[in-house]
């Protein structure tokens, strides 16, 4: 039987350490695909609109719009995400369920608590929604936070992607944007007919590669049409050579 798909999840908290802890907990749960983070209620609503998460891990006490305000703003929406409140205060439990929250976890959230709540949501969605088609659907666009906006980037416009710790830098012409995702997950979402991984930290759009060259010592590079020169990792050399029909 095919593995259950991961649920698109957004973290909302005004404390960076709380966001970091939830990121670590989410990384250990296969059923979770983290699509972004927000540090206030206004940003949360913008990102929910742009990213369509299925789960929101939502703090209650935040400046401006608090977590309850965010949940109320989502009432009546057709694709309303499941709300799991993650808070240091227990006095909001009744109000939380008045806005149809599916979970209320007190900080510090434990791995077991979060995993159980996610599993319950996953089971509910599995029953309510038909299983996705087995054929892969390659990602066609990304919504990337940039300053005070969330920008749409078409996959076909990305020239190359480079890993920077826990982020991917998407190069689009002279501009670049950071996306919070691992390179392995990103590689699986991109159409291999359009993109090629050249290094453990680099993915390139195939039609950007102008030529391959080596330094005479066994190290190969790909020269792109914009003049950039990228080292090809040994593990990916065979795929690169396949571009010109060489084994």
Range name among 6-10, 52-56, 129-133, 147-151 with the lowest pLDDT average: 129-133
* pLDDT (mean) for 191-203: 93
**C-alpha–C-alpha distance, residues 105 and 93, integer Å:** 9
Range name among 112-116, 136-140, 241-245 with the lowest pLDDT average: 241-245
The pLDDT of residue 1 is: 34
Domain ranges in the chain are 7-128, 141-242
- For residue 119, what are the CA distances in angstroms to 18, 20, 54, 133, 202? 21, 21, 13, 22, 34
The pLDDT of residue 90 is: 86
Question: For 141-242, which CATH class?
Answer: mainly beta
The pLDDT of residue 145 is: 81
Token representation of residue 230: 């990228």
CATH number of 7-128: 3.40.50.2300
**Nearest partner of 101 among 89, 88, 117, judged by Cα:** 117
pLDDT tens-digit map of 150-166: 888 999 999 999 998 77
Band (246; pLDDT cuts 50, 70, 90): very low
**Nearest partner of 232 among 210, 207, 200, judged by Cα:** 200
pLDDT tens-digit map of 106-118: 999 999 999 999 9
């Amino acid at each position: 039987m095919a593995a259950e798909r991961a649920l698109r999840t957004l973290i909302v908290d005004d404390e960076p350490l709380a966001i970091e802890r939830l990121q670590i907990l989410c990384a250990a749960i296969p059923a979770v695909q983290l699509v972004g983070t927000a540090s206030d209620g206004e940003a949360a609503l913008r990102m929910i609109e742009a990213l369509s998460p299925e789960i929101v891990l939502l703090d209650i006490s935040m400046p401006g719009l608090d977590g309850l305000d965010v949940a109320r703003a989502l009432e009546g929406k057709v694709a309303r995400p499941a709300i799991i409140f993650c808070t240091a205060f227990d006095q909001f439990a009744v109000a939380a369920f008045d806005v149809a929250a599916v979970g209320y976890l007190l900080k510090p959230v434990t791995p077991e608590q979060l995993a159980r709540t996610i599993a319950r949501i996953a089971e509910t969605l599995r029953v309510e929604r038909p299983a996705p088609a087995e054929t892969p659907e390659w990602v066609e666009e990304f919504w990337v936070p940039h300053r005070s906006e969330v920008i749409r980037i078409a996959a076909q416009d990305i020239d190359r992607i480079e890993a920077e710790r826990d982020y991917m830098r998407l190069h689009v012409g002279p501009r670049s944007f950071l996306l919070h995702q691992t390179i392995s997950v990103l590689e699986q979402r991109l159409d291999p007919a359009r993109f090629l991984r050249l290094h453990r930290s680099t993915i390139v759009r195939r039609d950007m590669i102008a030529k391959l060259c080596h330094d005479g010592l066994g190290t190969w590079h790909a020269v792109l049409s914009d003049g950039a020169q990228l080292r090809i990792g040994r593990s990916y050399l065979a795929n690169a050579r396949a571009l010109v029909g060489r084994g």
